[in-house]
Structure 1
Amino acid sequence: MSHRPRIETIDRVLYLNPGSAGPRRIKLPVTLATLELTASGLQPIIHELSCAK
Structure 2
Amino acid sequence: MRIGLISDTHGFLDPKVFDYFEEVDQIWHAGDVGTVSIIEELGAFKPTLGVYGNIDGQDVRQLFPEDQKFECEGVRVWMT
Please report the TM-score for the alignment, with normalisation by the length of structure 1.
0.25
More helix by share: 2
Highest CA radius of gyration, 1 or 2? 1
More strand by share: 1
